[in-house]
């Protein structure tokens, strides 16, 4: 995105990429349908960036969700708004958009050099790349670093840049998993039976934060959209205390009194699982979660009264024991702190060097917010470089 803005501004641009081809993580983002941005009003949209919102506001206002949709349409990929408010290209894939984008960059004179991994600067201040043919120095009037976080390192972003910049005096907030799963010590019976099963229409709570949505049971824990929305709070609790209690409400639209009434009927010869399934419309995985909680409490679920069952249905405690590895996270928190950047996204310690995208210290849930901020800060860095070149 920075390259496109720079080329439009008349600069000669080269993009150096560690991978054998462009946009590897962009293509990964499109595997389930490329969620470019979100359609909600900008105040609510900006709130998704939490404490980083004031630092990102100017960039996102300058390249807004509406502008991103127009950009995609100009590349021949019109967009639509899904039922959740998320915005997708009608092709629902990343590859057609990426191909069209690369063609436009090529026509604008942007040159790509692949299998070039940036490893810092040489003694003369030139950019230094590791290539298949050895180290290669490159002189540039200005540099945009768009090196990503540390999730999915096999796609090119491994966070190795953090030590390089730190050695130059740039303050880096430690890279941490974001939009990640969490580990839970499920019983063997539970994870063998319910691995891969979704929890639909649930409410998840940690502290004062509650989110409605879906989650997914994994063999080692839990992940999914609602978990990702709470991942910052869950992560900080786990890292700070060593564990965290996530509370799951299976029927959040019903209160305890209504559930108690439903569960006060005669069970007859039905198994408890069948009774809960019919009386409270619970899924097998939801009932399994109740069984896990009962085991942890030291009481068989069959001994719970209707009122106790009703209370448990909407307050199942799940102990999170750890954060899934950063390599498997969708994105990362941490990175170059905003105090290290001026209003052009130029590093104060390194004049002529700009930074953009996920390597900056912000995080957001899935839903289009990650790509939107990456696009917007890329465009902002490109504009910043043009201003820098004009003034210097």
pLDDT tens sequence for the chain (392 residues) = 999 999 999 999 999 999 999 999 999 998 889 999 999 999 999 999 999 999 999 999 999 999 999 999 999 999 999 999 999 999 999 999 999 999 999 999 999 999 999 999 999 999 999 999 999 999 999 999 999 999 999 999 999 999 999 999 999 999 999 999 999 999 999 999 999 999 999 999 999 999 999 999 999 999 999 999 999 999 999 999 999 999 999 999 999 999 999 999 988 999 999 999 999 999 999 999 999 999 999 999 999 999 999 999 999 999 999 999 999 999 999 999 999 999 999 999 999 999 999 999 999 999 999 999 999 999 999 999 999 999 98
Helix (H), strand (E) at residue 275: helix 272-280
Terminal-residue alpha carbon distance, the chain: 23
Note the pTM of the prediction, 2 decimals.
Answer: 0.92
- Neighbour tally for 292: CB within 10 Å: 23
Specify which residues 145 forms β-bridges with: 355
Q: For residue 274, give both structure tokens.
A: 């069948």
CA-to-CA dists, residue 237 to 50, 183, 289, angstroms: 17, 13, 22
- Our measurement of the distance from residue 112's CA atom to the centroid of its chain's CA atoms, rounded to an integer in Å, reads 27
Provide φ and ψ at 38, rounded to 5°: -135, 155
Angle ∠(213,214,219) on CA atoms, nearest 5: 150
Angle ∠(48,52,56) on CA atoms, nearest 5: 90
**Which residue is it, tokens 């409410």?**
203
* Cβ–Cβ < 8 Å for 25, 122: no
* Cβ–Cβ < 8 Å for 289, 222: no
- β-pairing verdict for 182-184 and 221-223: antiparallel
Helix (H), strand (E) at residue 223: strand 221-223
């Amino acid at each position: 995105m920075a390259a496109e803005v720079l080329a439009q501004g008349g600069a000669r641009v080269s993009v150096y990429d560690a991978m054998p081809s462009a946009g590897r993580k962009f293509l990964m983002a499109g595997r389930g349908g490329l969620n470019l941005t979100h359609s909600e009003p900008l105040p609510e949209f900006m709130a998704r960036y939490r404490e980083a919102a004031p630092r990102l506001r100017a960039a996102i206002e300058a390249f807004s969700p509406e502008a991103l949709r127009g950009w995609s349409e100009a590349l021949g990929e019109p967009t639509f708004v899904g039922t959740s408010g998320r915005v997708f290209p009608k092709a629902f894939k990343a590859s057609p958009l990426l191909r069209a984008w690369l063609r436009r960059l090529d026509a604008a004179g942007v040159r790509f050099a692949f299998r070039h991994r940036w490893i810092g600067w040489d003694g003369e201040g030139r950019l230094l790349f590791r290539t298949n043919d050895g180290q290669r120095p490159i002189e540039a009037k200005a540099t945009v670093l768009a090196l990503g976080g540390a999730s999915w390192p096999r796609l090119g972003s491994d966070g190795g840049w953090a030590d390089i910049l730190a050695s130059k005096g740039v303050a880096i907030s430690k890279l941490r998993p974001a939009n990640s799963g969490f580990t839970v010590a499920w019983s063997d019976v539970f994870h063998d039976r319910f691995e891969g099963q979704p929890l639909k229409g649930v409410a998840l709570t940690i502290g004062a934060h509650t989110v409605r949505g879906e989650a997914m049971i994994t063999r080692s824990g839990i992940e999914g959209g609602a978990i990702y929305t709470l991942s910052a709070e869950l992560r900080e609790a786990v890292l700070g205390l060593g564990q965290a209690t996530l509370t799951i409400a299976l029927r959040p639209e019903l209160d305890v009194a209504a559930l108690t009434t439903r569960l006060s009927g005669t069970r007859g010869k039905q198994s408890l699982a069948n009774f809960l399934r019919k009386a409270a419309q619970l899924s097998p995985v939801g009932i399994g979660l109740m069984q896990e909680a009962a085991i942890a409490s030291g009481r068989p679920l069959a001994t719970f009264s209707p009122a106790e069952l009703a209370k448990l249905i909407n307050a199942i405690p799940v102990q999170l024991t750890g954060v899934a590895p950063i390599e498997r996270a969708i994105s990362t928190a941490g990175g170059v702190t905003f105090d290290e950047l001026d209003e052009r996204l130029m590093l104060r310690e390194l004049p002529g060097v700009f930074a953009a995208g996920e390597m900056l210290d912000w995080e957001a849930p899935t839903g289009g917010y990650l790509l939107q901020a990456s696009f917007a800060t890329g465009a902002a860095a490109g504009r910043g470089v043009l201003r820098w070149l004009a003034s210097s």
